[in-house]
Amino acid sequence: MLNTQDVLNLSGKVAVVTGGASGIGLATAELLAAFGAHAVLIDINETAGEEAAAGIRGKGGAASFYRCNVTSAVDCERVASEIGSTLGGIHILFNNAGVIRRRTVTELEEKDWDLVLDVSLKGVYLLSKYVIPIMEKSGGGSIINTGSGWGLKGGDRAAAYCAAKAGVVNLTKAMAIDHGPANIRVNCVSPGDTDTPLLRDEAKQLQQDEAAFLVASAGGRPLERLGTPRDIANAVLFLASDLSSWVTGSVLVVDGGGIA
């Protein structure tokens, strides 16, 4: 009889998680570490990142933190090289860092367009560029990119975010085609509204009451609730593990049925 614990066992794997200091990134790093991976948290928030890694180690997991701005090629190349040299390879990459600015194209300033596209889309490209050669030397691996339901359908007052996440969806498919022969699987997890600092910041941007905004965000979904960071982490664990060994180029929507 199949022992699912063996299929999910990530012992000996090095898992890099961007945006790892909070929200979905932190929940995923904690879960991957719980299943045996060495979780490498990447974030620009050094204090929160170090505390998060220490928290994982305090629970018996293996974790480390590297400060990295994913919009910087210099940072991404340096961090990928340091991780590969120090930990002996990279087997899992969760490209999760992202930002949102709730504006229409007429409201949006160019600097905010650049910020959203740089963090949410260019960051996926840059870190993947420098991690993939290391992953190839490790015998292959799994890359998971964070998309969004709004990467598959439009959303109001989020033009740059919708554009970036749509780019992530199709970049995922292109990467899966290019790097499959090297035994690298590339998939996309597309969350719906999830209770994270990012979602709560949207309420501030829209000048709405936070509690009312969260209630409204949960409305209309068949499962009638917001997502939790752990909901998304569970999906990433599936895509990172051998349970999904023949899954690549896919988009897994995790949104409580929001775009069903």
Give the pLDDT confidence score for residue 185 in this predicted structure: 99
pTM summary value: 0.96
Q: Which of 53, 39, 130 is nearest to 92 (CA)?
A: 39
Give the pLDDT confidence score for residue 220 in this predicted structure: 85
Phi, psi of 44 (to 5 degrees): -90, -15
Annotated catalytic residues are: 161
* Both tokens assigned to 34: 């719980």
Q: List, for residues 160-199, the tens digit of each pLDDT value.
A: 999 999 999 999 999 999 999 999 999 999 999 999 988 8
pLDDT at 5 over 90: no
Domain ranges of the chain: 4-192+228-252, 198-226
Give the pLDDT confidence score for residue 203 in this predicted structure: 85
Rounded CA separation 241/212 (Å): 37
Confidence of residue 4 (pLDDT cuts 50, 70, 90): low
Distance from chain centroid for Cα 149: 14
Q: What is the second-level CATH architecture of the domain 4-192+228-252?
A: 3-Layer(aba) Sandwich (3.40)
pLDDT at 2 over 60: no
Give the pLDDT confidence score for residue 56 in this predicted structure: 98
Distance from chain centroid for Cα 47: 20
Q: Which of 215, 184, 95 is nearest to 144 (CA)?
A: 95
Give the pLDDT confidence score for residue 219 in this predicted structure: 87
203 neighbors 246 (Cβ within 8 angstroms): no
Report, as an integer, the average pLDDT of 201-227.
91
pLDDT at 3 over 90: no
Q: List, for residues 225-258, the tens digit of each pLDDT value.
A: 999 999 999 999 999 999 999 999 999 999 999 9
Report, as an integer, the average pLDDT of 112-117.
98
